[in-house]
Chain A
Amino acid sequence: MSSFSVSRVPVDAVGLEARAKSFTKRSIKAASKHQALQWIIGMMDLTTLEGADTESKVRRLCQKARRPSAELAKVPPVAAVCVYPPFVSVACEALRDTPVQVAAVATSFPNGQSFFSLRLEEVRQTVEAGADEIDMVISRGALLSGDEARIVDEVAAVKELCPKQHLKVILETGELETYDRIRQAAQLAIEGGADFVKTSTGKIGLAATLPITLVLLEAVRDHFLATGKLVGVKAAGGIRTAKQAWQYLVMVKETVGDRWLDPSLFRFGASSLLQDVLLQWDRAAAGRYSSSNLIGLD
Chain B
Amino acid sequence: MTKESTSAKFPLVHPIEPLSPAASREESGQGVKDLLFGDLWEYAPAPESSEVSGARDHYGNFIEGQFEDGGERFASHNPATEELLFEVSTADEACVDRAVTAARRALPRWSGLPGVERGKFLYRLGRVIQERSRELAVCETLDNGKPIKESRDVDVPLAAAHFLYYAGWADKLTYAFPGAKVAPLGVVGQVIPWNFPLLMAAWKIAPALAAGNTVVLKPAPTTPWTASRLAEILQEIELPPGVVNIVHGADATGRALVGHSGLDKVSFTGSTEVGKEIQRKLAGTGTRLTLELGGKGANVIFEDAPLDQAVEGIVQGIYFNQGQVCCAGSRLLVQESVHDLVLAKLRQRVATLRVGDPMDKNTDVGALNSAEQRDKVQRLSEIGLQEGASMHQLACDLPEKGYFFAPTYFTEVSASHRIAREEIFGPVLTVQTFRTVKEAVDLANNTRYGLSAGVWSDKGSKLFQVAGAMRAGVVWGNSFNQFDPGSPFGGYQESGFGREGGRHGLRPYLEVRS
A29 to B40, CA, bound (A): 15
Q: What residues of chain B lie closer than 8 Å to A261, measured between beta carbons?
A: 40-41
Task: Report the count of interface residues on B (CB-CB < 8 A).
Answer: 37
Most chain A beta carbons < 10 A, residue from B36, B38, B41, B304: B41
Q: What residues of chain A lie closer than 8 Å to B21, measured between beta carbons?
A: 258
A253 to B42, CA, bound (A): 10
A10-B458, A15-B309, A258-B24 known; A35 and B41 CB under 8 Å?
yes
A257 lies within 8 A of B37 (CB): yes
A11-B309, A36-B41 known; A228 and B32 CB under 8 Å?
yes
B29 lies within 8 A of A259 (CB): yes
Closest to B21 in A: A258
A177 to B33, CA, bound (A): 32
Q: Which of B18, B29, B37, B344 contacts A230 (CB 8 A)?
A: B29
A228 lies within 8 A of B41 (CB): no
Q: Which of B41, B44, B153, B362 contacts A30 (CB 8 A)?
A: B44
B362 lies within 8 A of A27 (CB): yes
Q: What residues of chain A lie closer than 8 Å to B228, measured between beta carbons?
A: none
A10-B304, A19-B312, A257-B36 known; A228 and B44 CB under 8 Å?
no
Expressed in whole angstroms, the minimum distance between the Cβ of A40 and any Cβ of chain B is 12
Q: What residues of chain B lie closer than 8 Å to A33, measured between beta carbons?
A: 44
B313 lies within 8 A of A15 (CB): yes
Expressed in whole angstroms, the minimum distance between the Cβ of A242 and any Cβ of chain B is 15
B44 lies within 8 A of A221 (CB): no
Expressed in whole angstroms, the minimum distance between the Cβ of B50 and any Cβ of chain A is 16
Q: What residues of chain A lie closer than 8 Å to B390, measured between beta carbons?
A: none
A15 to B476, CA, bound (A): 12
B309 lies within 8 A of A29 (CB): no
B306 lies within 8 A of A228 (CB): no
Q: Does A298 contact B (CB under 8 A)?
A: no
A residues 190-224 near B (Cβ < 8 Å) are 218, 221, 224
Q: What residues of chain B lie closer than 8 Å to A1, measured between beta carbons?
A: none
Q: Does A26 contact B (CB under 8 A)?
A: yes
Q: Does A25 contact B (CB under 8 A)?
A: yes
Q: What residues of chain A lie closer than 8 Å to B305, measured between beta carbons?
A: 10
Q: Does B265 contact A (CB under 8 A)?
A: no
A257 lies within 8 A of B38 (CB): yes
Q: What residues of chain A lie closer than 8 Å to B40, measured between beta carbons?
A: 253, 258, 261
A72 to B373, CA, bound (A): 53
A25 lies within 8 A of B361 (CB): yes
Residue-wise interface mask of B (133-163) relative to A, using a CB-CB cutoff of 8 A (1 in contact, 0 not): 0000000000000000100010000000000
B308 lies within 8 A of A11 (CB): yes
A19 to B308, CA, bound (A): 10
Q: Does A31 contact B (CB under 8 A)?
A: yes
A15 lies within 8 A of B36 (CB): no
Q: Which of A11, A15, A25, A30 contacts B479 (CB 8 A)?
A: A15
A15-B479, A25-B361, A257-B37 known; A225 and B344 CB under 8 Å?
yes
Q: Which of B33, B38, B306, B313 contacts A10 (CB 8 A)?
A: B306
Closest to A26 in B: B362
A257 to B32, CA, bound (A): 13
Expressed in whole angstroms, the minimum distance between the Cβ of B306 and any Cβ of chain A is 4
Expressed in whole angstroms, the minimum distance between the Cβ of B158 and any Cβ of chain A is 15
Closest to B42 in A: A32
Expressed in whole angstroms, the minimum distance between the Cβ of B183 and any Cβ of chain A is 40
Q: Which of B32, B344, B352 contacts A254 (CB 8 A)?
A: B352
A25-B149, A257-B37 known; A12 and B43 CB under 8 Å?
no
Q: Does B31 contact A (CB under 8 A)?
A: yes
A31 to B304, CA, bound (A): 43
A26 lies within 8 A of B28 (CB): no
Expressed in whole angstroms, the minimum distance between the Cβ of A98 and any Cβ of chain B is 24
Residue-wise interface mask of A (236-263) relative to B, using a CB-CB cutoff of 8 A (1 in contact, 0 not): 0000000000000100011011110100
Q: Does A14 contact B (CB under 8 A)?
A: yes
Q: What residues of chain B lie closer than 8 Å to A257, measured between beta carbons?
A: 18, 24, 35-38
Closest to A265 in B: B29
A27 lies within 8 A of B361 (CB): yes
A36 to B458, CA, bound (A): 37
Q: What residues of chain B lie closer than 8 Å to A32, measured between beta carbons?
A: 41-44
Expressed in whole angstroms, the minimum distance between the Cβ of B23 and any Cβ of chain A is 10
A249 lies within 8 A of B312 (CB): no
A27 lies within 8 A of B36 (CB): no
A264 to B148, CA, bound (A): 36
Most chain A beta carbons < 10 A, residue from B29, B308, B309, B362: B308
Expressed in whole angstroms, the minimum distance between the Cβ of B432 and any Cβ of chain A is 22
B41 lies within 8 A of A221 (CB): no
Q: Does B46 contact A (CB under 8 A)?
A: yes
Q: Does B307 contact A (CB under 8 A)?
A: yes
B308 lies within 8 A of A253 (CB): no
A16 to B306, CA, bound (A): 10
Expressed in whole angstroms, the minimum distance between the Cβ of B253 and any Cβ of chain A is 37
Expressed in whole angstroms, the minimum distance between the Cβ of B30 and any Cβ of chain A is 8
Q: What residues of chain A lie closer than 8 Å to B310, measured between beta carbons?
A: 15
Q: Does B222 contact A (CB under 8 A)?
A: no
A75 to B476, CA, bound (A): 49
14 further contact pairs, Cβ within 8 A, besides A15-B313, A33-B44, A258-B40: A9-B307, A10-B304, A14-B478, A15-B308, A19-B312, A26-B361, A29-B46, A32-B41, A32-B44, A218-B308, A253-B37, A257-B35, A257-B36, A258-B24
Instruction: Give 14 CB contacts A-B under 8 Å.
Output: A10-B305, A11-B309, A15-B306, A15-B312, A19-B312, A28-B46, A32-B41, A33-B44, A39-B41, A221-B35, A225-B35, A228-B33, A249-B41, A257-B24
State the B residues within 8 Å of A (CB): 18, 21, 24, 28-29, 31-33, 35-38, 40-46, 149, 153, 304-310, 312-313, 344, 352, 361-362, 458, 478-479
State the A residues within 8 Å of B (CB): 9-12, 14-16, 18-19, 25-33, 35-36, 39, 218, 221, 224-225, 228, 230, 249, 253-254, 256-259, 261
8 closest Cβ pairs, A-B complex: A15-B309, A27-B46, A10-B458, A257-B35, A258-B40, A12-B306, A27-B361, A30-B44
